[in-house]
Amino acid sequence: MIEIIGPLVHAGEATRIGADTQPASLQKQLIERLQQAILGGRLPPGSLLPSSRLLAAEMGVSRNTVVIAYEHLAAVGYVFADQKGTRVSPLSSSTSRDDEPTACATAPEVAYAARVGQFAATRTHADNTFPLTPGTPALDRFPLTAWRRALERSMEHALPVALGYGEPTGEPALRDAIAAHLRMARGVRCEGAQVVITEGAQEALNLCVRLFTNPGDIAWVEDPGYRGAKAAFNLGDLRTLPVPVDAEGMAARSDAWLTQPPKLIYTSPAHQYPTGAVLSVARRLALIAQARRSGAWLIEDDYDGEFRHTGEPIASMQGLVDDAPVLYVGSFSKTMFPALRIGFVVLPRAIAGHTAVALQEMLRGGHRLEQLALARFIGSGEFGRHLGRMRRLYRERQQALRDALAQYFARAQVLGGDCGMHLTLRLPPGLNDRSLVARALAEGLNPRALSSFALQPDASTNGLVIGYGNTPAERLAPAIQTLAALAREMDGKGAQAKGALKARPKQPH
Ligand SMILES: Cc1ncc(COP(=O)(O)O)c(C=O)c1O
């Protein structure tokens, strides 16, 4: 046996051979040697091991050491006892034999789930702190002092209890605060009991998929539309149907309700992402009525509806009629900051009770101090004041962006802007939006390609989605001038623009 597993190192020997550390116990060494010999195929399945007495004598250890080693190996399944003694167990045939070269020198291919392949590589690595990033709020204007105070107060009042598990659907204080705010600011018909706190809007979308669909169901999504919704549908193994968008928002064909009946419909009615269209009231009512008839659920993503810039605020679709089949999804990523990772879904009153049991199993709560601090932040009026300040700031920045676009992209069509923190610019067909975005990124600017939001890209989805939330007004004109110069250069007509590019320093980050 000693030829197969090698001699053990006894404590005295280690010092003689100059080893720095003491060897493992004889018992541990014996277990490891036997395990390696079994896994390496030097002790094949079924082979009979020597009796404890014989092995003890051969290895120079006590019989008890061998007995304990055999017992341990039997307990984890390497060996088993029969009438003749202790034998090696039949382990998986794929176990590698260390005396044979492996057939394949490279690591085996990872078997991904089929849905992983459905994610198209449309997102380039980009720095979200760069000017013109869509969806990033003015982080340097966030009232950190007030937020720190809210966090500290929550710690004073809620610790140590709040270190434990909380309600899976979120802190009741936050659910109530959100419900009160939504009733007043967005016309949502809800109570705190209908609000489920999630890890941002993304988890809310995933939750809608899990609660209301089965694999293979059809989900409609605006096209161009929010990639997060498509990702959630992919993860739920849904069949996604792109629905075109026009100036009145999502434009569903009436026959599609029969030919491709949806289980879920994703829409961003207050400010369609990314074209900025506002879903007309007629279409809202039609969607609600049809969804009711077909047993479908509408997901209303109200991601930036708090920042309305023109006319009267447009109330939510959820609040248009009582008990509408609408799952109202919201997020604090824009109104507070994205790293907070707090969002929510408002479930219809009629089903909030039915889903409670499933939600207790599906969710774990968490981030309790942040949730309690947010409830305090909303309740104290800080949130409302911050929204008011940001609304004014974003209006000013949007105007600066509009002025710059009028100056440098005079002939291009500008879409959206009734709400939020981005405008969308249509580009002429010859100017590839993805190439322009790649060049802009190299210049330290981060607009997104409109076509990267489309499942069926065409000439109408060639454009730029330009964020102004994180870019000071005075930096917008130089940034748009840079974009225009890049565009002209790509268009091949830009001898003058090329000169301007050379002279222009990179955008400071
Ligand atoms: C259309 C849309 N919905 C929702 C969100 C917010 O997602 P989350 O709350 O997961 O950050 C975003 C953020 O960019 C968005 O663009």
- Per-residue confidence at 108, pLDDT binned at 50, 70, 90? low
pLDDT score, position 14: 58
Answer yes or no: do 328 and 249 share one domain: yes
Structural domain includes residue 48: yes
61 shares a domain with 163: no
Which is higher by pLDDT, 173 or 116?
173
Q: In this structure, what token pair is assigned to residue 97? A: 């034999």
Instruction: Using the 3D structure, point to which of 65, 88, 111 is the last residue of a domain.
Output: 88
Domain membership of residue 95 (yes or no) is no
Alpha carbons 377 and 149: distance in angstroms, whole number: 9
Q: Are residues 179 and 309 in the same domain?
A: yes
**Ligand 1 pocket, 270 CB below 6 A?**
no
Whether 408 and 332 share a structural domain: no
In this structure, which residue's CA is closest to atom 6 in ligand 1? 201
412 in a structural domain: yes
In a shared domain, residues 332 and 245 = yes
Q: What is the three-class DSSP state of 273? A: coil
Going by CA atoms, what residue is nearest to atom 3 of ligand 1?
A: 303
Mean pLDDT of 62-84: 92
Nearest atom in ligand 1 to the alpha carbon of residue 201 is: 9
Q: Is residue 84 part of a domain?
A: yes
| 91: pLDDT strictly greater than 90 | no
Place of tokens 């209301």: 212
What pLDDT does residue 156 have? 97
Is residue 409 located within the same domain as residue 358? no
| pLDDT bucket at 490, cuts 50 / 70 / 90 | very high
Measured CA to CA, the distance from residue 238 to residue 217 in angstroms comes to: 5
Q: What is the CATH number of the domain that holds 42?
A: 1.10.10.10
Say yes or no: 272 and 339 in one domain.
yes
28 within a domain of the structure (yes/no): yes
In this structure, the answer to whether residues 370 and 483 fall within a common structural domain is no
What confidence tens digit (pLDDT) does each residue in 389-432 have? 999 999 999 999 999 999 999 999 999 999 999 999 999 999 99
Least confident of 58-72, 84-98, 465-479: 84-98
pLDDT at 504 over 50: no
Q: Once rounded to an integer, what is the mean pLDDT over residues 498-502?
A: 40
Dist. CA 128 → ligand 1 center (Å): 14
CA distance readout (Å), 2 to 19, 37, 50, 51, 98: 22, 11, 11, 14, 17
Name beta bridge partners: 249.
246
- Within-domain flag for 118: no
Please tell me the distance from the alpha carbon of residue 207 to that of residue 197, in angstroms, as a whole number: 11
Helix (H/G/I), strand (E/B), else coil: 243:
strand
| Contact indicator for 420, 397 with CB cutoff of 8 Å | no
Residue-wise pLDDT tens digits, 173-195: 999 999 999 999 999 999 999 99
Question: Average pLDDT in the 333-350 region?
Answer: 96
Same domain, 346 and 407: no
DSSP string, 1-55: -HHHH-PPPPHHHHHHTT-SSPPPPHHHHHHHHHHHHHHTTSS-TTPBPPPHHHH
pLDDT value of position 15: 56
Domain identity same for 75 and 219? no
Q: Does the pLDDT value for residue 374 go beyond 60? A: yes
338 lines ligand 1 (CB under 6 A): yes
Q: Is the pTM above the cut of 0.95?
A: no
Residues 349 and 191 sit within 8 Å (Cβ to Cβ)? yes
Cβ–ligand 1 contact at 200 (below 6 Å):
yes
- Give 200-217 pLDDT, tens digit per residue: 999 999 999 999 999 999
Give the CATH number of the domain where residue 314 resides: 3.40.640.10
Q: With a 6 A CB cut-off, is 453 part of the ligand 1 pocket?
A: no
Say which residue, 281 or 501, is predicted with more confidence.
281
Distance 331 CA to ligand 1 centre (A): 7
Give the number of other Cβ atoms within 10 Å of residue 28's Cβ.
Answer: 14
Tokens 């060897």 map to which residue?
23
Ligand 1 atom with the shortest distance to the CA of 226: 1
Report the distance separating Cα 151 and Cα 256, nearest Å.
Answer: 49
pLDDT for res 21 = 65
Determine the distance separating the centroid of ligand 1 and the alpha carbon of 475, expressed in angstroms: 25
Q: How confident is the model at residue 372 (pLDDT cuts 50, 70, 90)?
A: very high
Pairing mode, strands 297-301 and 79-82: unpaired
CA dihedral 209, 212, 218, 219 (to 10 degrees): -50
pLDDT of 145 higher than 60? yes
DSSP 83-128: TTEEEE----TTSPPTTS--S-SSPPPP---GGGGG----PPP--T
Domain boundary among 319, 346, 380: 380
What secondary structure, in 3-state letters, does 401-469 show? HHHHHHHHCCCCCEECCCECCEEEEECCCCCCHHHHHHHHHHCCCCCEEHHHHCCCCCHHHCEEEEECC
Residue closest by Cα to atom 13 of ligand 1: 135
Taking the C-alpha atoms of residue 478 and residue 480, their distance in angstroms, rounded to an integer, is 6
Least confident of 383-387, 431-435, 436-440, 496-500: 496-500
Please tell me whether residues 209 and 307 are part of one structural domain: yes
Q: How far is the CA of 13 from the centre of ligand 1 (A)?
A: 65
Nearest CA to ligand 1 atom 16: 135
Q: What is the pLDDT of residue 505?
A: 44
**Could you tell me if 291 and 311 lie in one domain?**
yes
pLDDT in tens, 15-70: 555 555 677 889 999 999 999 999 888 999 999 999 999 999 999 999 999 999 99
Does any domain span residue 111? no
Name the residue among 436, 441, 415 with its Cα closest to residue 487: 436
Q: Using the 8-state DSSP alphabet, how is residue 160 labeled?
A: T
Residue of 199, 303, 327, 370 to mutate, ligand 1, most atoms within 8 A of C-beta: 303
CA of 221 to the centre of ligand 1 (A): 15
Strands (E) across 259-383 are located at 264-267, 297-301, 326-331, 343-346
Strands 239-246 and 218-223, by their bridges, are: parallel
pLDDT at 51: 94
Higher pLDDT, 86 or 502: 86
- Indicate the number of domains in the chain: 3
**Which has more confidence, 90 or 507?**
90
Residue span of the structural domain in which 153 resides: 142-380
Going from the Cα of 134 to the center of ligand 1, the distance in angstroms, rounded, reads: 10
Residue 103 lies in a domain: no
Res. 497 pLDDT band, cuts 50 70 90? very low
Alpha carbons 136 and 496: distance in angstroms, whole number:
33
pLDDT over 70 (residue 170): yes
What's 408's domain CATH number? 3.90.1150.10
DSSP tally for the chain: helices H, then strands E: 17, 14
